[in-house]
Structure 1
Amino acid sequence: MMITDITLVEGGPAQIFRGSDRDLHELKMRSAELVSRLGLPEEPFIVDEEAHTVAVRHVAGYIPLGDSTIEIMPAVLRHDPGWRLSMLTMLSTIHRLEWVPIADRATRHANLPGLMGLIVAEAMGRAVGEGVPRNYVEGSGRLASIRGQIDASKAWQRVIDPYTVDCRFSDFVANHPVASALKWACGELSGAVQEEWLQAELLNYTDLFPDASRELPMQSVLDSM
């Protein structure tokens, strides 16, 4: 399926939407949802379905729709030909992330999802080489030998079955929120990037670290990372 790339300018006049009617309608639905999610003073997308136009305010970044990928250029970077790299650099600085932009052939020709895909793929590559972050997960069970600590609240069951013991223990597993967030990002971006090799690489990474979930961790967990 061919994905239509659409670039809109935040704070600019209404622009022709080159995607399908269905995608335009979905964007209108997303606009109402983003007001509460992002705490915006008003809807970010002014959609005219008859004129097939969209005006953007208060947001920048990218939004994947059914058959379209919308990039939103910040108004402050509208005269910057390398605005995608500039925006990601600004975000990484604000959030104190360790990322150094590399201006090469891949990044010069990549759209915003492609740049993000390159960043996530690089992070997953490091995780493969250095080892994915791990996390202690609490567990319990009735075992034939002591593991961890005896569960004192169930010690009385030894009277009934002296050959087993209820224990509480911890497993050091790769089900870490960082790994889950990376796998989720790989899956999401694989459907938005243009480069087939990058799509294949991102999809491959979603199958790594089977102990880690593909679901995005809760916002409270992400905030604590």
Structure 2
Amino acid sequence: MEAESEVNYEAEQRQVHRNNTSNLNTVQRFLASVETDVTATCRKLETKILNALGVVTAEERKKTKQKTQELREAIRQAKETHTRNKDGVQQLERELEKLNMVLQGKEEELDAQKKALAECVENVKKEESLVSEVKLENQRKTSQADTSIQLFKKHLGLDIACLHNTLVFKFTQVSHSNPDAEYMVHLSLEEDKYTLLGSEPPLPSLPQLQEELNASGNLLACIVQIRKLFERMDSKRRRQ
């Protein structure tokens, strides 16, 4: 009985094994069938996609890839150029700002120079006006002096000459007996100081006259005084 039961158990195991193997084969065939169907479906879809988009050859893909790279390079260069241009524009703007500042400084300097020039022109006009007034005054004085000299020469016989930085005052009409007789005095002027160098005939009071002349600065009064001394000298000589 025990042997028969053991033989039946082994038979059942074998049957189960056969059933499992049969089921596995069925499953494998089913999976293979499914894989075949999926592959066929994918191929059909790929064919439909290629038909829809057009078949792209390897050469066309290479050209497209090359064009894409060229486009990317162009974009990169454009970006670099834009960056350089932007930096260049900023640099130019800074330079322009500096130039504007320099120009503004020059304009301010020019305005100051114009103002200074206007002041100089105004001062020159004032000086010219003053010089003109001085010239007119000098002309007036010169004219008066010429008139006085002519009067002195006519009535007093005075003649003035300049010899080697020395003024020579020559008198005539001093002597009533000899109107043409000449009486002279020599005078020099250095650093606003008068020096009576001598007279003909000699006058003993010349040092005193020189001191008085430098104290007063009145040359005309001194000349008049010298003529009077010559007249007295002639009168005294005639009385003798």
Normalised-by-shorter TM-score class: under 0.3
Tell which structure's C-alpha radius of gyration is larger. 2
TM-score computed with the length of structure 2 as normaliser? 0.21
TM-score computed with the length of structure 1 as normaliser? 0.22
Bigger relative contact order, structure 1 or 2, given CA contacts below 8 A and separation 6+? 1
